[in-house]
């Protein structure tokens, strides 16, 4: 009897160990699947991060190029403005018309242009039509 009990206890122990080993194997397989899924997610995340990093670098390069181009255009515009100012200063007639246009912007009428800028009536009317507000 005691021998049978020991045999039954040993058998229960072996079955329990086998059950535990089977359970542990299933848990290990589940964990491995989760690790594999997380590894894939990390790889995809790294790939996306690198793509965004490349796009950001391209945007930076483009922005720098646009900035340089803007500086060049500003420089050219400034040079052209300076040339126009110089040309206006050298041509007294151009000064007269520039003054007349500024006066029109400030609300001057035909009679004022005729008197202040010594323009013929037709030219004063034309300047007001071309540069007047409305």
pLDDT, position 47: 95
pLDDT of 37 strictly over 90: yes
pLDDT, position 133: 65
pLDDT of 6 strictly over 80: yes
CA distances from 83 to 80, 88, 92 (A): 5, 9, 15
11-32 as b/e, with b when 16 or more CB fall inside 10 Å? eeeeeeeeeeeeeeeeeeeeee
pLDDT of 111 strictly over 70: yes
Instruction: Give the global pTM.
Output: 0.43
Reported as a single tens digit per residue, the pLDDT across 40-86 is: 999 999 999 999 999 999 999 888 888 889 999 999 999 998 887 77
pLDDT, position 92: 66
Q: Give the dihedral of Cα atoms 53, 58, 64, 69; nearest 10 deg.
A: -170
pLDDT, position 91: 63
Residue scoring higher pLDDT (90 or 49): 49
The C-alpha atoms of residue 61 and residue 55 are separated, in whole angstroms, by: 10
pLDDT, position 31: 93
The C-alpha atoms of residue 75 and residue 37 are separated, in whole angstroms, by: 57
Q: Could you tell me where the DSSP H helices lie in 1-134?
A: 2-90, 92-105, 110-117, 121-131
pLDDT cut 90: percent of the chain above it = 31
């Amino acid at each position: 009897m005691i021998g049978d009990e020991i045999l039954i206890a040993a058998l229960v122990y072996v079955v329990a160990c086998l059950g535990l080993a089977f359970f542990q194997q299933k848990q290990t397989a589940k964990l491995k699947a989760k690790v594999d899924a997380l590894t894939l997610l990390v790889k995809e995340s790294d790939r996306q991060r690198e793509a965004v990093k490349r796009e950001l670098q391209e945007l930076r390069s483009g922005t720098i190029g646009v900035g340089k181009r803007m500086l060049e255009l500003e420089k050219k515009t400034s040079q052209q403005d300076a040339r126009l100012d110089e040309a206006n200063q050298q041509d007294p007639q151009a000064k007269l018309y520039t003054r007349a246009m500024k006066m029109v912007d400030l609300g001057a009428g035909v009679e004022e242009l005729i008197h202040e800028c010594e323009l013929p009536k037709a030219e004063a009317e034309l300047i007001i039509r071309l540069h007047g507000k409305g």
